[in-house]
Structure 1
Amino acid sequence: MSPSSAVLPLAASPLVDPVAPGWQLLTAALVAIALLVVLITVVKLHPFLALILGGLTVGIIAGQNVNDVLASITKGLGDTTAGVGALIALGAMFAILLAESGGADQIVDTIVGRASGRLLPWAMAAVGAIIGLPMFFEIGLVLLMPVIYLVARRAQVSLITVGIPALAGLSAMHGFVPPHPGPVTAIDYLGADLGVTLALGILVAVPTIIVAGPLFGAIAGRWVVVEPPHTWEAEERVATRRPSFGVTIATVLLPVVLMLGKAVLDIVIDDPENTVQQVGDVIGAPFVALLIAVLVAMYTFGVRAGMDKATISDTVGRSLPPIAGILLIVAAGGGFKQVLVDTGIGTLLADWAKDADVSVLLLAWVLAVLIRLATGSATVATITASSLMVALVDGMSTGETSLVVLAVGAGSVFFSHVNDAGFWLVKEYFGMGVGQTVKTWSLMETVLSVTGLVVVLFLGIFI
């Protein structure tokens, strides 16, 4: 069994011969992307519906039978839901248990409490990264804001100086590291190995967070000085029995260790008949690793934190409704991707890229950047860019395919601006004007994106 096999139910699709002349397929892709931009940004249509309509547009302009287009969309919807949907749901369950048990507070208090004044931005970057590992960006931001306020007040520094590093940690995890929806979706579409991508994602995230977090935060903190408000000054929530720091970190890192362990065993042993590798392949499979982590968290963050069975069940149940929209968008993106594959647009783009001798990593990043700037959505940027890259990863090694995933992830976080909900969330929480938000948050995202690309290109020299 190769390292990239049996990773997720949906692997990279085989090359498909173009169903129409190149100009017609290119027109179909451009019109569909333009339609996505208009529907999402101007009409304010939900991305789920916009992606469905975009898929129909591609197939119809490419000259396919409408029934065939619908079949492609249906197949993509089902395959993507099977491959990604369960992982997103399990990740949400794990995240809410971490938050409700007080485990996240424990991580913050332990790391920040031991940091001196000069090390506070670095500590906040570490907190943002650890909290961001299992949590969606928005949830992590809401969770960290009271801490950012408190730390800024105690250190008597600008909210930006300690806030930007925390945001960099959160955003880097969101863009580079599974099991976040973006990386997992790109892995699913491109048939990459999750364990290898996870390892490389962490390798890319560390220097990227350092540059975009503490280093850029020190500069941004001088550009924009925001006094921390007294909101939440006495609203720290303490669980009945907060889990210890060691137990919390061990539980958070459990799925990471299981998935990385599988990747290591596949490389070191590389024998499908070996019992140890077979066991590793099972418990290190993304779905099983996250399932084990959730079950363990129900004990460490649930039972040991003083929750009874009914409370644990209710807590886990409350994690699912908020992610319904994300699941629908990702599923619709699978339908959109499948139409691009079945019409042969990906094959056409692959042939063009090879003839033009364009770096696949740079192309993946540019495509994601353009969609991100146009739609404001990192998820839509990831879905669209990785859909277009499917044919270009054909024949690539496991490591090279993972780097393409990370290049897409880097591009998907580029320059958040007024069409991104995250922009307004940060603006309001930090109490900044639009111009201040651009000079801090938007530029941080740009530094994060460009630094991530540079690190990916550097790793590409050796992989």
Structure 2
Amino acid sequence: MPLLIVFIGVMLLLLLMIKFKVNGFISLIFVSLVVGVAEGMNPSKTITSVQNGVGGTLGSLALILGFGAMFGKLIADSGAAQRISRSLINKFGVKKIQWAVVLTGFLVGIAMFYEVGFVLLIPLVFTIAEFAELPLLYVGVPMAAALSVTHAFLPPHPGPVAIATIYKANISMTLVYGIIIAIPTVIVAGPVLTKFLKKIDREPSKNLFKAKIFTEEEMPSFSASVLTAVVPPILMAFSAICEITLPKTASIRQFSEFIGSPLMAMFLSLLIAIYTLGIRRKKTMEEIMKVLAEAASEIAMILLIVAGGGAFKQVLIDSGVGKYIATIMTGSNMSPLILAWAVAAILRLSLGSATVAAMTAAGLVLPIISSTNANPALMVLATGAGSVIFSHVNDPGFWMFKEYFGLTIGETMKSWSTLETIISVMGLIGVLVLNMFV
């Protein structure tokens, strides 16, 4: 019955948005309230759950997305994004630009959560698509695939590191196995998938991206552009390396955890960008602040829609849907790798959040490792793979992809949801194959 209510809720959400054209944020809040009450929650507790979901999502993402949007707009409006994209195109050529985007996505995504990397790279995607006259998804899908693959498989990304900590897995081996799985997975989920999305050709949202072709003199140097753009992943990677190699009491580790947290990394990067791409290039502070204000106003609706997805997710958690699923799955006798993947996948489908699904699944299947002698590193990858399957309307990441690329819900499912499912299924296949040899 709980899963039936979730299914009906998702169908109601699709009906409101597709048939009646109701705003995504309003639809998500309405459906969250309906599902919460239908699942047996007290109406006042349902409202509290919605508020906690919105607050929890915005609390962790609002500042990061806000700083990220400002940082990205400075990179775009200063000409740095065009400088980087032009250099990538010249180096790789238009025919191989997808591989440049994939490589960039790997480097940026390996140290930060998906949402942060997405906001950081989206101006680059828009600029490359505009400058090279390529379909937006042709460039955007490989970027999203690279970010999502790192989220699922590769330490020092915070997700795999957190799961590995629960399973007491060797992080170095997790990284080695993860790379083996990640390379073919990102090729299929990125460049190969775009061959089947040719009919979906959207222009960048005019509110999020205003095309401007800069002259050579107007653009900052390539070194200044790249060094500014890579500050966030460098800070986060430094923090991850210190966390892995140094004891908790080490002062360097404590300092790295401060500057390498997503919030501080984006804030510090923004301050650096204000200098390197603004003040140093003779821009007045008034001009710079105007750019930042425009960036903040442009992502307001995206923030609300992402918050609505967080409200729906929280209602599903607080109503006991996660525990209900866990109870059903823990009585199974299937392979521990498949079980870890399946539990994470069902939690992901029901709750939306890949991080919540992965962490919950890890806690549930942890006892299986000791009783079955399953390889902990492969269990990390199986859990990570299950946690990213078929992102849909209860996942804030779904709405980010939809709104930034200006897609319909159907187009988002054909592109983003399909991309995530490919990563999940190929991850499971890769884990099962590796299990035959290790």
Match of 1:310 in 2: 286
**Does the CA-based 8 Å contact 2:239-2:257 persist in structure 1?**
yes
Give 2:320's aligned amino acid: G
Match of 1:326 in 2: 302
**Does the CA-based 8 Å contact 1:125-1:166 persist in structure 2?**
no
**Does the CA-based 8 Å contact 1:87-1:287 persist in structure 2?**
yes
CA distance in 2, matches of 1:63, 1:117: 55
**Does the CA-based 8 Å contact 2:302-2:403 persist in structure 1?**
no
Correspondence for 2:339 among 359, 362, 382: 359
**Does the CA-based 8 Å contact 1:410-1:449 persist in structure 2?**
yes
**Does the CA-based 8 Å contact 2:12-2:31 persist in structure 1?**
yes
1:157-186 CA-partner distances (Å, limit 9, x unpaired): xx67xx7752333332564567xxxxx9x9
Correspondence for 2:68 among 69, 86, 91: 91
Match of 1:171 in 2: 144
For residue 243 of structure 1, give the secondary structure of its aligned residue in structure 2: coil
**Is residue 42 of structure 1 aligned with residue 19 of structure 2?**
yes
**Does the CA-based 8 Å contact 2:236-2:262 persist in structure 1?**
yes
**Does the CA-based 8 Å contact 1:134-1:252 persist in structure 2?**
no
CA distance in 2, matches of 1:443, 1:33: 19
Match of 2:47 in 1: 70
1:243-269 CA-partner distances (Å, limit 9, x unpaired): 222222222221112112212211211
**Does the CA-based 8 Å contact 1:364-1:389 persist in structure 2?**
yes
Match of 2:315 in 1: 339
CA distance in 2, matches of 1:446, 1:56: 28
**Does the CA-based 8 Å contact 2:71-2:120 persist in structure 1?**
no
Give 2:53's aligned amino acid: G
1:331-386 CA-partner distances (Å, limit 9, x unpaired): 22222222222221101111222223453435545776x79xxxxxxxxx944x66
**Does the CA-based 8 Å contact 1:98-1:104 persist in structure 2?**
yes
Distance 1:174 1:79, change over 3 A: same
Equivalent residues in 2 for 1:434-453 (5 A)? Answer: 442=414, 446=418, 449-451=421-423, 453=425
CA distance in 2, matches of 1:192, 1:324: 35
Q: CA deviation at 1:89?
A: 0.9
Distance 1:71 1:422, change over 3 A: closer
1:228-281 CA-partner distances (Å, limit 9, x unpaired): xxxxxx973237542222222222221112112212211211x22211111111
CA distance in 2, matches of 1:321, 1:253: 25
Match of 1:289 in 2: 265
Distance 1:136 1:410, change over 3 A: farther
Aligned residue pair count: 379
Match of 2:363 in 1: 394
1:373-425 CA-partner distances (Å, limit 9, x unpaired): xxxxxxxx944x666666434367898678756654453389xxxxx968995
| Unaligned segments of structure 1, at least 5 residues | 1-22, 150-158, 179-183, 227-233, 372-380, 415-419, 428-433
For residue 359 of structure 1, give the secondary structure of its aligned residue in structure 2: helix
**Does the CA-based 8 Å contact 2:390-2:421 persist in structure 1?**
yes
**Does the CA-based 8 Å contact 1:347-1:391 persist in structure 2?**
no
Q: CA deviation at 1:95?
A: 0.7
Give 1:172's aligned amino acid: A
For residue 56 of structure 1, give the secondary structure of its aligned residue in structure 2: helix
1:262-311 CA-partner distances (Å, limit 9, x unpaired): 12211211x22211111111111111111111111111222233422111
For residue 132 of structure 2, give the secondary structure of its aligned residue in structure 1: helix
State the identity as a percent.
23
Distance 1:191 1:35, change over 3 A: farther
TM-score, length basis structure 1? 0.66
Q: CA deviation at 1:140?
A: 4.8
Correspondence for 2:236 among 228, 237, 259: 259
**Does the CA-based 8 Å contact 2:343-2:361 persist in structure 1?**
no
Give 1:454's aligned amino acid: M
**Does the CA-based 8 Å contact 1:367-1:411 persist in structure 2?**
no
Correspondence for 2:248 among 266, 272, 294: 272
**Does the CA-based 8 Å contact 2:28-2:308 persist in structure 1?**
yes
Distance 1:443 1:59, change over 3 A: closer
The worse-fitting range, judged by mean Cα deviation, of 77-86 and 284-293 is: 77-86
Q: CA deviation at 1:445?
A: 7.6
Correspondence for 1:412 among 391, 402, 407: 391
**Does the CA-based 8 Å contact 2:342-2:386 persist in structure 1?**
yes
CA distance in 2, matches of 1:106, 1:287: 26
CA distance in 2, matches of 1:240, 1:248: 14
| Unaligned segments of structure 2, at least 5 residues | 110-116, 152-156, 166-170, 202-210, 367-375, 394-400
Distance 1:136 1:323, change over 3 A: farther
**Does the CA-based 8 Å contact 1:102-1:243 persist in structure 2?**
yes
Match of 2:369 in 1: none
**Does the CA-based 8 Å contact 1:259-1:286 persist in structure 2?**
yes
TM-score, length basis structure 2? 0.70
For residue 114 of structure 1, give the secondary structure of its aligned residue in structure 2: helix
For residue 331 of structure 2, give the secondary structure of its aligned residue in structure 1: helix
Match of 1:454 in 2: 426
CA distance in 1, matches of 2:216, 2:93: 26
**Does the CA-based 8 Å contact 2:98-2:142 persist in structure 1?**
no
Match of 2:34 in 1: 57
Distance 1:29 1:246, change over 3 A: same
Distance 1:306 1:396, change over 3 A: farther
Distance 1:169 1:51, change over 3 A: same
